[in-house]
Amino acid sequence: MNASMPKDQEFLLPVTGTFISLSLLVALLLNWMPLHGIWLALRPDFVALVLLYWCTHKPHRIGIGIAWAIGIFADVADASLFGQHALSYTVLAFGGVMLHRRVQMFDVREQSMQVFPLLLISYSAYVVVHWQLHNYVAWEYFLGSATSALLWAPMTILLQTLRRPRSDPNEL
């Protein structure tokens, strides 16, 4: 968001279903980047970030059902336990929809602090299922929630920039 323009004076184009779908598809592709070692532990969950963005900015368009479907798709793509990502994304979407007005009260930098607990709860739901299945918890996994929260502001600015109206080059 532009620092000189107040939040209520910023104009964004209406979002289309195609734009939402493409943003979630790009996030899925970013989640499939092959990483190893510490980079794997630090990798943010791009799908969770984009999903949370849409749940907080367009809660009437993206909600718990779509989060569950995306989570099932992510489970199949990652060959993980069926429903593990779905549960995590559903919990995240519920928090995003319920707190969307609170998150939007803050500017983009302060939103990261509001989003971090939601991401932490979502990661916790994923870890609880992993713990029940494998009887151990890799605590390094929670580093991803911190990097996801740090990427909230740049990702929000990017998506809002793509939604701003373009100026007409023929206009004075």
pLDDT tens digits for 118-164? 999 998 998 888 888 888 887 777 888 999 999 999 999 999 888 87
Q: What is the pLDDT of residues 144-157, one digit of tens each?
A: 899 999 999 999 99
Amino acid occupying residue 45: D
Count other C-beta atoms under 10 Å from residue 60's C-beta: 7
How far is the CA of 31 from the CAs of 45, 71, 98, in angstroms? 6, 12, 25
What are the residue boundaries of the structural domains of the chain, listed by start?
15-163
Per-residue pLDDT of the chain in tens (172 residues, 90 and over written 9):
444 444 544 567 788 889 999 999 999 999 888 878 778 778 899 999 999 999 999 999 999 999 999 999 998 888 778 888 999 999 999 999 999 999 989 998 899 999 999 999 998 998 888 888 888 887 777 888 999 999 999 999 999 888 877 766 666 5
The residue written with tokens 């004076």 in the block is 9
Rounded CA separation 91/67 (Å)? 9
The residue written with tokens 């070692």 in the block is 37
Which candidate, 16, 97, 23, 21, places its Cα nearest to that of 59? 97
Domain covering 15-163, topology: Arp2/3 complex 21 kDa subunit ARPC3 (1.10.1760)
